[in-house]
A and B are shown apart, each in its own frame.
Chain A
Amino acid sequence: MLKVLTPKWLKIERRPVPSGGVIFLVSIIAIVAALLVAAIFFAAYGVSPISAYRSIIGGALGNWSGISETLRRMIPLLLCGIGLTIAFRALFWNIGADGQLLLGAVAATGVALFSGLPGPLLLPAMFFAGFSAGALWGVIPAVLKVKLGINDVITTLMMNYIALYVVLWLIHGPWRGPSMRGYAYTDMFPPAARIPVIGQSHVHWPTLVLGIVLAVIMYIFLNRTRGGFEIRVVGENPHAARFSGISELKTIAIVMVLSGGLAGLAGVGEVAGVHYQLLDPTQISMGYGYTAIIVAWLARKNPLAVIITSFFFGVLMAGGDVIKVNLGLPFQLIHVFNGLIMFFLIGSELFMNYKISIRRQ
């Protein structure tokens, strides 16, 4: 394909394994290119691109309220993102982090409001329940794929909608809070079921610490253990896996327990760290489960790199608020802005895997 379309004076060679430096450099160039194109839109609205970028960076990182917003957005992206790197290593296309996150939020809410557990046990039980619910939601498509050959993209995606309607049904039906005067929310969580935050921000730091610790653990698991090796083999060469006696069902199930469970933890963080109640599903997930796909992809399936990419997308999301509030631009521009960055990052794949140079003759 590439050969046909390339003029003679261009030389394109495949890079067998792109080095970390190449990945970093190409990603940076892609982001800069996206910023240049986005600048045209800012200018079209009569806002100087330079002052726009200054206020976006300043708004997301320049003071504590900006940083706290960035970190708050980073937490669910980090947890979902780590989970997705595991799934993507096994070439299991988990598009369902959003639904797994919601199920985690549901389980945490159930424990917080209805378990009657004593205070100190509440939060650990909520995290445990959230992980289990997310894992359960994730393992269903895994079994369907391995046992019945049903496409994982379709099942994980569709289960997001089921999760969304489960939440809607709960808040409109059995779990609608008596103190909410008929509005579709559950009651507020008791104080013992709320994750501590830094100051008056929404940064529920225990979840952030948990995310960073899990990133390290998952990195070690994937790269230094037999289980991690089996996941890679199943992903990269299922035939070899079968010949060497690796159980595909068991491996994929473990992958999705971890992937779904981590997304479930993100859901616990959102309801117990930010909202303190179960509410409209779109307000809980905010599309984190979908954004995390790009977070994981950009991290090149490396859980440690997710720490950086989730932080970067946290900046983008917090910067979006700056576009809306401080620059007074239409909110749709945020989607254009974020879309451009994703477009260029995905497009830059070519330059990572191929070396392009000019022929000298």
Chain B
Amino acid sequence: MQKKILLTAVLAVVLIAGIAVIGAAKAYVPGTPITAGFIYVGPIGDYGWTHAHDVARQIVAKEFPWLKTVYVENVAAGDTVSTIDKLVNDKHCNVIFTTSFDFMNGTLAAAKKYPDVIFAHCSGFKRAPNMATYMADFYQVYYLNGLMAGALTKTNKIGYVGAFPIPELKRHISAFTIGVRTVNPNANVYVRWTEAWENPAAAKEATEALVAEGCDVFAFTQDSPTVVQVAAANGALSFSHYSPMYRFAPNNVISGELVHWDKIYADFLRKVYNGTYTAHNLQNVDYWWLLSQGAVEMGAKPGMPINPIFINKLKATIVDDPELGKISVYDLIQTRLDQMANPGITFDPFQGPVYDRKGKLEVPAGMWMSVNSLTSMQWAVKGIIGPWPGEP
């Protein structure tokens, strides 16, 4: 009996290993219908990162009659290739978007396996002839929100609940702090890390700890509205992040960072459809889209750049800007927003001179940072208080 079982098992394994059928995909012909697959790292109901990507997917699916979309949620890093296998072989996807840094190596492996399928990977840095990268970044918006936080704090202590100490968050927190310090040189930004993108319990704990330290305005990087809710329960102000979180605390949400991934998806898919992008020319295609491309928006919810109940306070707060002279914070925000949102950008939050919190000159006077130095940024600007793993 036992021997039989063993023999059968060994035979089965040998047999299975012997079968090797690898599906082959056909090259996309421009102008024909596209099936686009979206791979998500979280559940579509996370009210953060994945939710925002899925909203964008639905927008482009409605916009283009020639586009069909499919999505897979909650995909683990190790399952990237196997999920793509099914999307290519069973769902006949021509274009596949992988929407998390976790999927970088898997997407690259799949791009080699399916040279005729077009891939685009969000937030990574590896590309291939048939694999582009894309990112809608918030650092300009964080700077604008920082201007508001600096004007509205009463304790001069601003809290920031971060997920992971990676360059993306370090860039955002520094831009935010530059904004805070521009209008309020006495204010500091207190940082706590949750080491998780979505962990409401840890976010609550971090927010409460920062409230106890005296913080009265909050910004954050979390895929849940927890910080907004906990801050409001303690009478503190906050900003929306990724998704419109205004409705969770209409009296406490000042503004926020909103994303429009659909702008990138629409542009990319249109260029695949008209033949601009093929499976052979994506090696240098890297979307780094900001305010001027409409990929990100400053607002508590779409169409509400600043919650009206805070506008008077922002108009009444006058600062002395070295470049613009005496100006209300409200006008300063509008000026900077115009300078960054209109084509021919004339302002950047990180324009030199910028010193890190150890006193080292990071960006010389008159210089701007390159995309590459922004995406690999490890230092912290003056005014940030708290642990900073990987600080040079």
Contact = CB atoms under 8 A, between A and B. Distances in A.
Interface of A: 20, 59, 63-65, 67-69, 71-72, 168, 172-173, 176, 181-184, 188, 198-200, 202-203, 205, 208, 212, 216, 219, 270, 274-276, 279-280, 283, 286, 302, 304-305, 307-308, 311, 318, 321-322, 324-326, 328, 330-331
B170 A182 contact: yes
Contacts of A182: 165-167, 170, 376, 378, 390
A217 B48 CA distance: 50
A321 B101 contact: no
Contacts of B85: 65, 69
A202 B81 CA distance: 9
Q: Which 8 A-B pairs have the closest CB atoms?
A: A182-B166, A325-B86, A307-B9, A65-B85, A64-B21, A331-B74, A182-B167, A283-B77
Given A205-B17, A275-B77, 20 more contacts: A64-B19, A64-B20, A65-B86, A67-B19, A172-B195, A172-B389, A181-B125, A182-B167, A198-B17, A198-B20, A199-B22, A219-B2, A275-B78, A279-B77, A280-B102, A283-B77, A283-B102, A304-B2, A325-B90, A331-B74
Among A208, A321, A330, the one with the most B-chain Cβ atoms within 10 Å of its Cβ is: A321
B105 interface: yes
B102 to A, nearest CB: 7
Contact of B6 (A59, A202, A216, A326): A216
Contacts of B81: 200, 202
Contact of A181 (B17, B72, B73, B376): B376
Given A20-B1, A182-B170, A326-B86, A63 B378 contact: no
A295 B17 CA distance: 22
Interface in B303-323: none
B76 interface: yes
A67 B20 CA distance: 10
B360 to A, nearest CB: 18
A173 B17 CA distance: 40
B182 to A, nearest CB: 26
Given A182-B170, A286-B76, A322 B9 contact: no
Contacts of B2: 219, 302, 304
B371 interface: no
10 contacts: A63-B21, A176-B390, A182-B166, A200-B81, A274-B78, A279-B77, A308-B9, A324-B72, A324-B73, A324-B74
A53 to B, nearest CB: 16
Contacts of B22: 64-65, 199-200
B135 to A, nearest CB: 12
Nearest to B71: A328
Given A173-B389, A286-B78, A308-B5, A325 B20 contact: no
Interface string B159-200: 000001111001000000000000000000000000100000
Q: Does more than half of chain A's interface fall in helix, strand or loop, or is it mixed?
A: helix
A184 B162 CA distance: 14
Contact of A202 (B5, B13, B78): B78
B78 A283 contact: yes
A248 to B, nearest CB: 29
A202 B82 contact: yes
A305 B86 contact: no
Interface in B78-105: 78-79, 81-83, 85-87, 89-91, 101-102, 105
A275 B81 CA distance: 11
A321 B390 CA distance: 37
B16 interface: yes
B209 interface: no
A67 B72 contact: no
Nearest to A279: B77
Contact of B90 (A188, A199, A275, A326): A326
A65 B109 contact: no
Nearest to A325: B86
A344 B113 CA distance: 40
Nearest to B377: A182
Contacts of A280: 77, 102
A212 B19 CA distance: 19
Contacts of A205: 17
Contacts of A308: 5, 9
Contacts of B78: 202, 270, 274-275, 283, 286
Contact of B82 (A69, A212, A331): A69
A208 B13 contact: yes
A286 to B, nearest CB: 6
Among A63, A68, A182, A307, the one with the most B-chain Cβ atoms within 10 Å of its Cβ is: A182
A321 B83 contact: yes
B10 interface: yes
Contacts of A65: 21-23, 82, 85-86, 89
Contact of B70 (A304, A305, A307, A328): A328
B16 to A, nearest CB: 5
A52 to B, nearest CB: 14
B334 to A, nearest CB: 33
A69 B89 CA distance: 14
Given A181-B375, A182-B166, A307-B9, A331 B79 contact: no
Among B5, B19, B20, B79, the one with the most A-chain Cβ atoms within 10 Å of its Cβ is: B79
B284 to A, nearest CB: 18
B86 A321 contact: yes
B43 interface: yes
Contacts of A330: 73
A327 B345 CA distance: 46
Given A173-B389, A182-B390, A305-B5, A283 B21 contact: no
Given A172-B389, A182-B376, A321 B79 contact: yes
Contacts of A67: 16, 19
A204 B223 CA distance: 35
Contact of A322 (B23, B86, B87, B112): B86
Contacts of B170: 182
Contacts of B70: 325, 328
A331 B83 CA distance: 13
A181 B166 contact: yes
A239 B203 CA distance: 52
